[in-house]
Amino acid sequence: MTQAATKTDVATKADFERIPFGSDPALIGQIIARDGGLILTGVLGQEDVDAINRDLDPLINPLPLGNWGGEIAEGVQNDAPAAAADADAEAEVFCGMRTKHRQHLLMHSKILREKVVGHPIMAEYVAQVVPGRTGMHSLFSSVAIEIHPGEIAQDIHRDADYMFDLAGLDKPDTPHYVVNTLLAMCDVTEEMGATRVIPGSHNWPDYTDHGDMSQTIPATMKAGDMLFYTGKTLHAGGANVTADKPRRVLSTSWTFPWAVGEEAWPFIVTPEEVKTWPKLVQQYIGFRSKPYRDETPGLMWRIETRPLEEKLGLDA
């Protein structure tokens, strides 16, 4: 049984374990079990980072600051003005009014699809954290997050706890429901808004305790490095106190094989397009049948009892 972390444990940890990408998945699992997060170094080289940024610049640069927070706030439909105002304020603080978000990144970067999300070792790392057969998990989100100067820090939170606490998973001894990654698209410093993490907080016995900023450490990274952490670990986007340095990271997360993610992939890409994508990515975004007992092909998400990938001709 995992021993619960204490605030004394947190205070003595000054940095993350930094492990080269490609390291033994079992080692990654051990570190996650203990600390709740780590830095994978050298996931991409500078040439690949530059290429992804060139792909994404035309999509991200024109976006207004606070584009996601504003959209969520506008979408709140509530007849009670006070409740609507609270939701509006919450969306602004959480999503950031000086932060840009862009979803569906896999559509726009072949390098991201093939060298990161579709890399076989990444599937093994995910399976070390979230229950399910290797390579059969569902993509929970794929979004660029660019924090601009003047942005304030997020509230400390756990990923998707608003969903999974309904299933009783908001406890340290229950399965990890989400594993998240933040891939640095530039050198990320504390001053630029590096994500702040409370190591070991995934093992805290009381999940209503969100700690405080004094317990966090910044996930500083070189371009091409990746923060890899369980959604149960407390974290928050940092404040960008620089004059002119945006912080861009690409957030990709996975969940249970049968769970639904944030993005409706089958409605924005076609089977013809997806045929050229790695099979792992096809599985993650819902173009292959889903398992519920680690079987393959999956017995869920089928057409007339036949596997979806068969009906779509993905293996033809």
pLDDT in tens, 142-173: 999 999 999 999 999 999 777 777 888 888 99
What pLDDT is stored for residue 1 in this prediction?
38
The answer to whether position 219 is within a domain reads yes
Position 165 scores a pLDDT of 79
Q: Which range marks the domain in which residue 134 is found?
A: 7-66+98-285
The model carries a pTM of 0.91
The pLDDT value recorded for residue 89 is 58
Predicted pLDDT at 72 = 45
Would you say how long the chain is, in residues? Answer: 316
Flag whether 90 is in a domain. Answer: no
CATH code (residue 57): 2.60.120.620
Q: What is the pLDDT along the chain (316 residues), one digit of tens a residue?
A: 344 455 544 445 678 999 999 999 999 999 999 999 999 999 999 999 999 999 999 999 999 999 875 444 455 455 555 554 555 556 666 788 899 999 999 999 999 999 999 999 999 999 999 999 999 999 999 999 999 999 999 999 999 777 777 888 888 999 999 999 999 999 999 999 999 999 999 999 999 999 999 999 999 999 999 999 999 999 999 999 999 999 999 999 999 999 999 999 999 999 999 999 999 999 999 999 999 889 999 999 999 999 999 999 999 7
In-domain check, residue 218: yes
Strands (E), 166-287: 178-184, 196-197, 217-218, 226-230, 235-236, 247-255
Query: Which residues are within 8 A (CB) of 304 and not within 5 positions of it... i.e. 6 or more apart?
Result: 311
58 assigned to some structural domain: yes
Determine, yes or no, domain membership for 306: no
Task: Give the residue from 103, 125, 137 showing the smallest Cα distance to 254.
Answer: 137
* The dihedral formed by the CA atoms of 209, 236, 114 and 17, expressed in degrees to the nearest 10: -70
Q: Distance (Å, rounded) from C-alpha 281 to C-alpha 174?
A: 27
* 295 Cβ neighbours under 8 A, 6+ residues apart: none
Smallest Cα–Cα separation from 105: which of 259, 286, 265? Answer: 265
Instruction: Identify whether the C-beta of residue 250 lies closer than 8 Å to the C-beta of residue 55.
Output: no
Residues 314, 228: Cα–Cα separation, whole Å: 30
- CB 2: neighbour CB atoms within 10 A? 11
Strand order in the sheet with 138-147: 18-20, 37-41, 226-230, 178-184, 247-255, 138-147, 99-103
What pLDDT is stored for residue 167 in this prediction?
83
194 to 33, 130, 171, 245: CA distances (angstroms)? 22, 25, 27, 12
Considering its fold, how many domains does the chain have in total? 1
Question: How far is the C-alpha of 25 from the C-alpha of 71, rounded, in Å?
Answer: 38
Cβ proximity of 196 and 213 under 8 Å: yes
